[in-house]
Chains A and B, each alone.
Chain A
Amino acid sequence: MTLGAAGLLLMAVGFVGGGAVAAVWPTDRGARAVTLAGAIAGCFGGLIAAVFSMATGRPAAAHLPQLVSSAGGIVLGLDRLGALFLALVSTTGLLAAIYGASYTKEYEGRHSLGMFGLMFNGFLLGMSLVTCAANVFTFLLAWELMAVTSYFLVMTESDSPETRQAGLWYAAMAHFALVLLLPMFLLMAPDPNATTFADLRLGARILPDVARDGVFLLALVAFGSKAGVVPLHVWLPRAHPEAPSHVSALMSGVMIKLGVYGLLRVLVDFLGAGPAWWGGLVLLAGSVSALAGVLYALTENDLKRLLAYSSVENVGVILLGIGAGLILQSYGLPALALVGFGAALLHTVNHACFKALLFLAAGSVVQQTHTRSMEQLGGLIKGMPYTSAVFLVGSAAAAALPPLNGFASEWMIFQALLSGAQTPQPGAAIGTPLAVGVLALTSGLAAACFVKAFGITFLAMPRSDRTTGATDGHWSARAVMIVLAGGCVVLGLSAPLAIGAMYRTIDAVSPIVGPVAAGVNARVWLAAPSGLARVSPVLLALLLTSIVVVVASTLRHRGLSLRYADTWGCGRIHQTSRMEYTSSAFAEPLRRIFSELYRPTQDLSISVHPESQYFVRSITYTSHIVPWFEKALYDPLTGAIKKLATWILRLQAGSVHLYLLYVSMALVAALVAAWWSQ
C-alpha cells in the first residue's frame, strides 16, 4: 500500500468513524469532541494523500470493484488537479472543524449534536471523495453525499421559516444539477459499462462536435449551479447564511469551488480545446456573476448574506480566468491559455482562504451579538480586537488590495485577459477588454462593499445594545482565524510560487507542447505571459512597510502629542449612534446609480400632528430590493411546478383500494417489460 492510498484510507476511516461514533454518543459534549477527532483524522488523511500525489505526481489510487459492481464499483484516483482541491478541502475542513468545536457549544441541549457531527463529517467525506472520484458512479455518489449532508447542516436551525425555505431552494437546485450531470457523463462514455474517467477522456476525444457542445453546455449549467453562477445562484445567498458559520465557511470556501473543479475536469481534462464561443459564453457568465454578485452584496444589510453574495462575485472572477483560458486555447495558444486557467485556480485557492476567514469572523460576531443585521452592530473593534483585525485582513484581500492574496490572482487574471485582447481575432479583441472593464468595476465595487462590511460592523459606535459585552470568543476559534489571516498574507507574498504550482497542476491534466509560462514566474516575480510586465508582491510589501515605518518613527521622534475629545458634531453636545451612517445609507449612492438593476421599492409614511402638518410625529421608511431577474426566471418555474404537483396529487386519493390497484398495475407493467426485453 502506498502512502497515498494509506492517506485515503485514513481519510475515509476518520470521517466515517467520527461521524458514526458522534451519532451514537450519549452526551452532547462528547459528541462534539468525537466530531472534532474524526474530522481531524480524516482531514490529515486527505492532506497526506493530497501532498503525496502533488509531490510525486503519481496518483493516489484505491479500487473497490466489488462494491456496487453493477455501476462500476468505487474507484478512487487522485491526480494533481484533484489533489489540489483535496488539499483545499482538508485544510479548510480541518480549520472549520476546530472552530466548530467551540462554536457548536451553544447548540448543546437545543439541537442534536450527534446528528450534527454525523452530517458534518459526512459533508467533509463527500467533498473529499468528489476530488478523488475516478469513475462516474463514485463521483455522483460523493456529489450526492455532499449535497444531502450539507442540506441537513443548513437545516440545523430548522425552526425558523427562512431556514426551511432556504433548505428547499438548496435541495431543489442541488438536485437540478445532479439530474444534468448524469446525461453529461453518459454522453462522453463510449460504452455504458466503461465509465471510469480514463474511458470518458478517450470517449470525449471521438465525440462529434454537436455532442461536445452538449457536454459543454450541460457541464456549464450543472457545475455552474453548484458554483453559484448567476442566474443559477439563487440558492447560495439563501442557504449559506442560514448554516452555522463554520459550515458557511466550508460551503462558500470549498463546496462551491468543487463546481469549479468539475468544470475544469470536464472542460480542460476531458474535452480539451473547443470552439471560441465556449470561452465567450464562460466569459459572459463570469462577467454577469461578478457584477451582479458584488452589486447585490453591496446593498445587503445581513453580514453573512453579504459574504455569500461576495462568493457569487468571486466565482464570476474565477470564470473570467477560465473563459480567457478557453478563448486562448481555441485560438491555438495553449501556453497563454495556461495563464488563464492557472490564474483561475489561484483565485480559487485565495478565495477559499479569505472567504473562510470572513465567514468564521462573521460567525464570531453572530455568536457574540446574536444578530446578523449590520444595522444593529458597530463599535466591535474595541471588544473584539482579534476578530476585527482578521476581518480587516480578509476584507482587504477580498477587495484585491496589495500585497494580499486577492490582488495577486486578480492581477494574473487581468494579464490573461490582456493577452486575449492581443490575439488578432475580432471577437476576442473586443470581448476581453470589456471583461477587463467588468473585472475592474467589480473590484472597485468590492472595495466599497468591504469598506461597508468592515466599517459598519466594527467601527464607530454600537448601533444597538446587542454589542455590549462582546468579546473575542474561544482561544481555539481565535487561533484558527489568525492562521487563515496569515494564509491570506503568505499566499499573497508567495504568489509567484503559488502560480507556478497552479501551472504545473493544469499542465499535468492537459499537457501542452512548447515552453511552459511557469518559467518566467521566477522567485519573487509575478509575470505576465509576455514576460514584459511583472510585479513583486513581496517587494511591494517591503517598500510599503519600510516607508510607513520611516514616516511613523520620524513623527514619533519629533514628538506626537495627542488629545482625546468628542467627535465634532456641528455644535451638538452629545453624540449618539443615531447620527452615524448606516449600512443602507452607505450603499445609497450606488443603489441610486444602479437603480435599474435593483428596482427598489420605497414606502414612506409620515404621520403628522392633527393641528398642523409641520409637526411630524413619526416617519416610517421601508425599502426593498427586488431581484427582478430571479422573479422573472424562477416565478413561472415554481408556479408551474406547484401546478403540476397539485395535479399529481389527484393520484393520491387516500383509498386503499386505489393503492392496491396501483401496485397490481405496476406489477403487470414490470412483467410486460420483462417479457418484452427477452
Chain B
Amino acid sequence: MSGFMTSIAQAIVAAGLAPLLVGFIRWLKARLQGRRGAPPWQPYYELRKLFGKEAVVSHTASWLFKATPFVVFGTAVAVASLVPLVLAPPDPFAIGDLFAVVYLLLLGTFFLALAGLDTGSPFGGMGASREMTVVALTEPTVALSIVALALKAGSTSFSQIVTRTIAEPGMALGPGHLLAFASLFIVTLAETGRLPVDNPSTHLELTMIHEAMVLEYSGPYLALVEWGAALKLLIFLALAANLFIPWGIATTLSPSALIVGAATFVVKLAILAVAIAVLETRVAKLRLFRVPELLSASFVLALLAVMSTFLAR
C-alpha cells in the first residue's frame, strides 16, 4: 500500500513541478536571448487565470472536444505515477512498463488530434495531421531505445532497468547507452513539441504543430491541455534522466534516500532544461518535411544502440 501511495504522491509532485519546468526553460531562453523574460513561476499565474475564466466552445464541436482535456491531463498524470521520478517504484506496484507508458501517452495525443479536427477549423486539422505524422515517425525510435535498454536489463520494467544500471555502472558508459540516450533526447524534442521540430512559442499558422491543434481551447480546458503538455515534457526529461543516469534515485522509502532522490531529481531536470533552453536559442525550426530526416537519424542512432548492445555481449 505504501508503494501505491508513493506513486500517487510522485504524480502529484510531478504535476506540481511541471509548470515550473516550463517557466524555467522560458525564463532561461529569454535571458540567453538578451531579454528579461517572465519569472519562472509565471505559468502558475497563467494556469490560475485560465481556471478562473469561462471556456468558449465552438458550435461545431461535439462532446469529444470537451472530454479531450481530461483524457490528455489524465494520461499525463497516470504516466507520471508509473515512471521513476524521485523513487524507483518497487516492482509489485508498477502497473505498467515502458511500452505501456508510450501507448498511454499516445492515447492522449490520439484524443488531442481528434479534438483538433472536431472544431472544423483549418488550423486544428493542420495541427492534428502534423502532430500524428511526427508522433508516428517517433514511435519506432522510442521502441528501439526501449529495446536497447531492455536488452541490458533483461526486461522493460522501470525498476528492473534502474536497479540493473545502478548495479552495473560500467554498462551505463558503454556506447549503446549513450547512443540510446541521444536518440531518446531527439525523440523528446519531437514528442513534446520543442525546437527544431515544433516551436512552443510561435503563433504563426504555418509553423505551428501542437499550438495549432489546441488553438480552439480556452479557459479551464486550455489550462488542462497546457498543464498536460508541461507534464509530458517533465515525464520525458525524467525518463531520459533516470533511465540513463539513475544514480541518486531513491530505491527505498527511508526519508534520507527520498531527500537525496528529490534533490538529484531536481538537479537532473535542471541540467536537461538548461540543455533544451540552450538548444532552442541556437537552432532554427526545421521545415516540416525536413523533420523526417532528423527522426530517421535518431532511428539510426537507436538501431546502432541495439546493435552495440548485442556486440558487447
Contacts and interface: CB of A to CB of B under 8 A. Distances in A.
User: Do A and B actually bind?
Assistant: yes
B35 interface: no
B139 A444 contact: yes
A400 B125 contact: no
B59 A451 contact: no
Contacts of B151: 418, 421-422
B292 A593 contact: yes
A430 B310 contact: yes
B239 interface: no
A329 interface: no
B243 to A, nearest CB: 14
Nearest to B113: A451
Interface string A654-671: 000000000000000000
Contacts of A415: 156
Interface in A518-560: 528, 530, 532-536, 539-540, 543-544, 547-548, 551-552, 555, 558, 560
Given A402-B103, A448-B132, A534-B157, A565 B125 contact: no
B16 to A, nearest CB: 14
Interface stretch (A95-103, A235-243, A435-443): A435-443
B89 to A, nearest CB: 12
B129 A433 contact: no
A522 to B, nearest CB: 12
Interface string A13-42: 000000000000000000000000000000
A412 to B, nearest CB: 10
Nearest to B53: A561
Contact of B74 (A399, A547, A569, A581): A547
A593 B155 contact: no
A593 B136 CA distance: 12
B126 interface: yes
Interface stretch (A263-271, A303-311, A313-321, A582-590): A582-590
Interface string B124-144: 111011101101111110111
B64 interface: yes
Given A424-B313, A447-B110, A563-B57, A460 B95 contact: no
Nearest to B97: A533
B44 to A, nearest CB: 17
* Residue among A392, A441, A543, A579 with max Cβ neighbours from chain B (10 Å): A543
A25 B129 CA distance: 52
A442 B150 CA distance: 21
A539 to B, nearest CB: 4
A593 B130 CA distance: 12
A585 B124 CA distance: 12
A548 B78 CA distance: 10
A580 interface: yes
Interface stretch (B114-122, B194-202, B257-265, B268-276): B114-122
Contact of A543 (B95, B119, B129): B95
B99 interface: yes
A246 to B, nearest CB: 27
B149 to A, nearest CB: 11
A528 B100 CA distance: 13
A407 B120 contact: no
A562 B140 contact: no
Residues of A contacting B: mostly:
helix
A401 interface: yes
Given A441-B136, A565-B58, A581-B125, A533 B120 contact: no
B230 to A, nearest CB: 15
* Residue among A411, A434, A448 with max Cβ neighbours from chain B (10 Å): A448
A279 B96 CA distance: 29
Nearest to B133: A589
Interface residues of B, number: 79
A433 B155 contact: no
B54 interface: yes
Nearest to A415: B156
B218 to A, nearest CB: 9
Contacts of B155: 528, 530, 532-533
Contacts of B137: 441, 444, 593
Contact of A536 (B73, B95, B119, B135): B95
Given A443-B139, A444-B137, A566 B58 contact: yes
B82 to A, nearest CB: 8
B216 interface: yes
A159 B223 CA distance: 55
Given A544-B78, A569-B121, A402 B289 contact: no
Interface of A: 379, 381-382, 392, 396, 399-402, 407, 411, 414-415, 418, 421-422, 424, 426, 429-430, 433-434, 436-441, 443-445, 447-448, 450-452, 454-456, 459-461, 528, 530, 532-536, 539-540, 543-544, 547-548, 551-552, 555, 558, 560-569, 575, 577, 579-581, 585-590, 592-593
9 closest A-B pairs by CB: A581-B125, A444-B139, A440-B143, A532-B155, A444-B136, A455-B117, A460-B120, A448-B132, A561-B54
Given A421-B147, A421-B306, 19 more contacts: A379-B60, A445-B136, A447-B110, A455-B128, A533-B160, A534-B97, A540-B78, A544-B75, A555-B224, A560-B55, A577-B120, A579-B121, A580-B122, A581-B117, A581-B125, A587-B129, A589-B133, A589-B288, A593-B137
